[in-house]
Homo-oligomer: A and B are copies of this chain.
């Protein structure tokens, strides 16, 4: 377990108080998120797209269609996973903020093509998106595997920022005590499972979905 932020660009300069250098926090943020935002440079311009991911140890896996240019030409990438925890209502507009947990990873991706390694990565990706589905649903065919591009990214160069707690108002604003200040928390909730209309038999919602 090594600390984060070993390079210049992954060293947080803005809001240093919010920088976190514990690798376990990075892992927890990545495990709690559902999609990442993958940024690449395409034709000299930035491109950012939401995409699924999964983590195994200190490797992040990404996947998509072999036809997607953003994945096909990806080399140097930047990946962000952001969890929103609340809106911070401060006494001043200037000090309004959000509570969040954020991970930003820099690095070069490698294509995962060896069949066993690719299957393992897809298992990691599936179990991240839908825990329990790898053993429940039909596994990929060779044709489906061939149509999927899988990329691996080492979690070596990462920056983690966490903001939590209440408003950080100016002393004068706190003393004036003119208005309410506080935090409005945000949570992500799972709703009731909606069965597919084209189910034929009498299928109960499986435990791994019901208990999520």
Q: A35-B82, A188-B186, A205-B180 are in contact. Are A93 and B45 (CB under 8 A)?
A: no
Which of B93, B106, B189, B200 is in CB contact (< 8 Å) with A137?
A: B93
Minimum CB–CB distance from A63 to chain B (whole Å) comes to 11
Give Cα A199–Cα B60 distance, bound, in whole angstroms. 43
Give Cα A130–Cα B92 distance, bound, in whole angstroms. 12
Q: Does A120 contact B (CB under 8 A)?
A: no
Residues of chain B within 8 A of A148, CB atoms compared: 94
Contact A137 B67 (CB under 8 A): no
Categorize the interface residue count of chain A: 35 or more
- The residue of chain B having its C-beta at the shortest distance from the C-beta of A47 within the complex is B78
Residues of chain B within 8 A of A104, CB atoms compared: 47-49
Contact B129 A98 (CB under 8 A): yes
Q: Does A155 contact B (CB under 8 A)?
A: no
Q: List 29 A-B contacts (CB under 8 A).
A: A9-B42, A34-B186, A35-B98, A37-B82, A39-B47, A45-B78, A46-B77, A48-B80, A50-B80, A50-B82, A50-B100, A52-B98, A92-B138, A93-B133, A94-B148, A166-B197, A180-B195, A180-B199, A180-B203, A180-B206, A181-B196, A181-B198, A182-B193, A182-B195, A182-B199, A182-B205, A182-B209, A184-B194, A188-B189
